[in-house]
Amino acid sequence: MALPTMVRAALPVLPGVNQLPGIAKKGGPLPEDLVLERHDVAIDRSHVAAYSEVCGFEPRQSLPLTYPHMLAFGLHMQIMTDPSFPYPAIGTVHVGNTIHQHRPIDFPERLDVSAQAANLRPHPRGKVFDLVTTVRSGEETVWESTSNYLRVGKRNEDAELEHEPLEVVPGTGQVWKLPANLGRRYASVSGDHNPIHLYPLTAKAFGFPRQIAHGMWSKARCVAAITSRLPDDVTVEVEFKKPILLPGKVAFGSRLVAGGVDFSLTRPKDGRPHLVGRAR
């Protein structure tokens, strides 16, 4: 989140400012015609290398499976800070993400990236919507993603779960020690400078005891750990659970199942899940 975008994201939640015309975000339907695009996007090898180092990917001849999210994040923030968008970006909770990689993307390719908000629906804790991303190489769709975002609000006791909960995989011996500056390191490559990820003081302003890891970092780190098991055409789905406090430790667990891999990040001392996922 570049500074001007971060300021726009914060304005709707500031007392007094949040009532001004053009800034107030009071809910309502999603804008159907707000589709943002980037065209002829070149891949920056040095940026991919920096991203790979932060997220634990080994050097490869193609992009890390989660990397195209970096190409779309700016579009996501432009959508959520657009005056026509009904909900503020700050305070919106990223609860899940599904990526479908149709095939690996090679470095020389030029890409077209599009993003839009869709599918506003009830959730037991409020409302949830999707940010849908499509990446094309020429006329070929090579990568797609759906990020699920929750606006906590009036409870909807009758809202049904969209699918069976993903299963938690207990830790299988790998415990990762995460440094206090992990959020700042990931922010430097992702552009996501949400204050909840940066410092104890900025995180406490939003109700966290100290800074927390980015959800998409935790997904990327898990994918890096199982990349060798994944086919070229694969769907990787995760749900974000308990926030990962920094500094801290997480236990990684994975298991082979029919058709793919299940995996989780859990809290070592009691097994409570931070992330649950599956690749198929």
Instruction: For the chain, give the mean pLDDT.
Output: 91
Round to whole Å and give the CA distance between 243 and 127: 20
Instruction: For the chain, list the domains and their CATH numbers.
Output: 3-18+33-279 (3.10.129.10)
Give which of 71, 2, 82, 70 is closest to 40, Cα–Cα: 71
Q: Predicted confidence band at 1 (pLDDT cuts at 50, 70, 90)?
A: very low
The predicted pLDDT at position 24 comes to 59
pLDDT tens-digit series, residues 41-95:
999 999 999 999 999 999 999 999 999 999 999 999 999 999 999 999 888 999 9
For residue 5, the model assigns a pLDDT of 54
Cβ(194)–Cβ(77) below 8 Å: no
Secondary structure of residue 243 in the 3-state scheme? coil
Rg (CA), the chain: 18
Q: pLDDT at residue 15 above 60? A: no
What is the pLDDT averaged over residues 177-194? 97
Please state the pTM of the whole predicted model: 0.90
Whether the bond into 268 is cis, omega within 30 of 0: no
Span 215-270, pLDDT tens digits: 999 999 999 999 999 999 999 999 999 999 999 999 999 999 999 999 999 999 99
